Amino acid sequence: MATNNNKDGTSNGRLDKRTGKPIGKTARKSPAKKNASLKKTSTAKNKKASKAAKPPKKPLVKRLFYYGATAGVWAFMLGLVLLAVLSIDLPDLDNPPQPGAGDTAVIVKAANGATLVRSGPSYGDWIPYDETPPVLINAFLAVEDRHFFSHPGIDFRGLIRAVFANIAAGGVRAGGSTLTQQLAKNLFLTNQRTLKRKAQELLLAFWLEQKFTKRQILTLYLNRMYFGGGAYGIDAASRKYFGHSARELSIAESATIAGLVKAPSRYAPHINPEGAWKRAKIVLGTMSASGAITPEAAEKIKGQPPRIKQAAAGRNVRFYTDWLESRARSLLPGSRGVSLIIYSTLDPSVQRAAAMALNRGLSGEGKKKNAGEGAIVAIDHDGAVRAMVGGSDYAKTQYNRAVQALRQPGSAFKLFAYLAAMESGLTPSDRYTDRKVTVDGWSPKNYNGKFNGDMSAREAFARSINTIAVQISEKVGRPRVAAMAKRLGISTHVAPLASLPLGTEEVKLIDLASAYAAVANGGHLAPAYAIVEITLLEGEVLYRRTPHPPIAVLAYPTVKSMTEMLTSVVKWGSGKNAAIDRPAAGKSGATQNNRDAVFVGFTSDMTAAVWVGNDDNAPMQHVTGGGLPARIWADFMLEAHVGQPVRPLLADAGIYSAAASFRQSSTDGLRQKKKKKGFFERLFK
């Protein structure tokens, strides 16, 4: 059968006889449709080929194992590197340094050879675990590490609690260190707060837990920790604060020692007994909460603080010894880091009398009249400091008002105006008129606000008349008054003001004492000093004071007249409250606003200056130099002169007292501690 090829490329097959239409018509696709069809077929074939070439996916468990193993290998390698870095600067773990080995010791000796203060490391007996009072162990565990016997060196529960507490507080308020971590830090590390130091601490804590038993770790801890005052270990602390072995510690004493770890220098009982006992009460509360003692026992003991070895008067010697140590370091600038023995001029009995007199005055009359602070300095007539109390309580403040504070001396400064005038011809019998005086628009007033008319210079001085003092100062010249003050030892700035004789320029109390001592010794310079000799612990002399020939600063006739006038002050003038059972002379002084009050005076044996006031310059209630300070001065002088013969003033004029002269002290009794080898092996064989 014939077929037809049409123009469009279709092919005609057989024709239907009835209709005439082709049967089995086949149409050729267009080029575009043909290309699309080919592309689709090719893509399908490629997908099938790709699926056939890609390996089957591994199960999730196998993939996790693979990634975990890879991360573990890298972590192990990084851990080794970190361990190597942390171990580079670790000390010898088998021979840790002696506790306090880097500290320097300073031993201060009194004039009689007694030890006043020893700063630096001190050690007691090694107390084994079986000989340690159980109550002391319970106190430490209760306040420092309740889970000590169950954790592996790190208390994760405590650490988490500390983290949340610090976050809530917005800073570091709580710590999560265990006893083992504390021991690791104190044995091998420093107090530096860095991530590296903390990581090393954790590493060493694990090492200690592996090397020792819990009992051995606790024994090391109790015998190596620092408890303030230079005491390392519970026995040294017990002997320093309570005067007996740690084997005999009571519950109250144990709580006190356990409380010191938090801040040993701040809570040291010998300088801050109130703060130490406040902290100990917290320890007693934790002991009750942990079941170590009953709540009833805790409450009872809180009302029974232990007796501290040193009394309040003993604490106040620290004002003197702190000043002494700073003076020693200035004399020997290259002595930093060197242990020293300082031989001083202080007389313990005189020091005790000064501390007790000031305490009685401030706690009695001072409390009623708002006199919150005070200071006393007593010196020999050559300037040797025999006693110094720089404040009401060293535990509360270490600010030394005897040598650091600048205060107005009030009328006690009139000494210099009258001395300058006497050198110009003034005599005690010269007449002056107490009347209104105006200088450069300023008019001084007397304390009682009244004018008393005509009187002698002696009476004006004894009754502390301000108007006449200003008249005398103007007559002799203010520059000469200022120069007299500098000549006798006032080290602070003295401006030639019209108010200068009334003591408006601020001075140091110790300078004022030195100036009056220059009158007491017959007119010779008396600069205050406290150091006689400084040696190394081995006895090598580094400094020895060389006695200097007396330097005359006042003529004897002037001194004699001035002493008579100062005696009148005590006998019948403004300083009557300073009268004692022997000849005495002095001068009172106070500011008109009652912010400062002083009394400075002398006997044939020593000169003493007393100041009372407030650190914030708050006014006192009608306190004058002839009142509270004069009474404190008399109270002190009476006790300080017990057993001393009664002698007239100026009996040794021009001859320095030998009470504070150098006395050779033996160093044969000093013990030299031997170095210990195989520390851990010696302790735990």
The residues that are catalytic are 144, 411
Distance CA 250, CA 618 (A): 43
Distance CA 343, CA 402 (A): 21
Provide the pairing of β-strand 122-123 with 596-602: unpaired
Q: Mark out the alpha helices in 497-627 (DSSP H runs).
A: 509-520, 556-571
Of residues 116, 100, 96, 97, the one with CA closest to residue 339:
100
Residues 510 and 526 sit within 8 Å (Cβ to Cβ): no
Distance CA 508, CA 511 (A): 5
SS3 content of the chain, % helix, strand, coil (to 5): 45, 10, 45
Three-state SS for 107? strand
**E runs forming strands in 25-176:** 106-109, 115-119, 122-123
Distances in whole angstroms, Cα of residue 68 to Cα of each of 61, 63, 71, 72: 10, 8, 5, 6
Distance CA 152, CA 164 (A): 22
Return the structure tokens found at 189: 């590390």
φ, ψ for residue 8 (rounded to 5)?
A: -80, 0
Distance CA 651, CA 668 (A): 39
Distances in whole angstroms, Cα of residue 528 to Cα of each of 28, 324, 345, 522, 672: 129, 12, 10, 16, 34
Distance CA 447, CA 439 (A): 18
Task: Report the helix count and the strand count for the chain, using DSSP H and E.
Answer: 24, 14
CA dihedral 26, 30, 33, 36 (to 10 degrees): 110
Of residues 600, 592, 648, the one with CA closest to residue 623:
592
User: Side chain identity at 529, as an amino acid letter?
Assistant: Y
Burial environment of residue 477 by CB neighbours within 10 A (0 to 12, 13 to 18, 19 or more): middle
Instruction: Give the angle 589-591-595 at the CA atoms, nearest 5°.
Output: 115
Distance CA 129, CA 660 (A): 48
Contacts 24+ apart (CB under 8 A), 125-128: 125/235, 125/245, 125/246, 126/223, 126/233, 126/235, 126/683, 127/219, 127/222, 127/223, 127/233, 127/234, 127/235, 127/246, 127/247, 128/219
Provide the pairing of β-strand 340-344 with 431-434: unpaired
Distance CA 231, CA 210 (A): 29
**Token pair 């021009």: residue:** 654
Cα Rg of the chain (Å, integer): 43
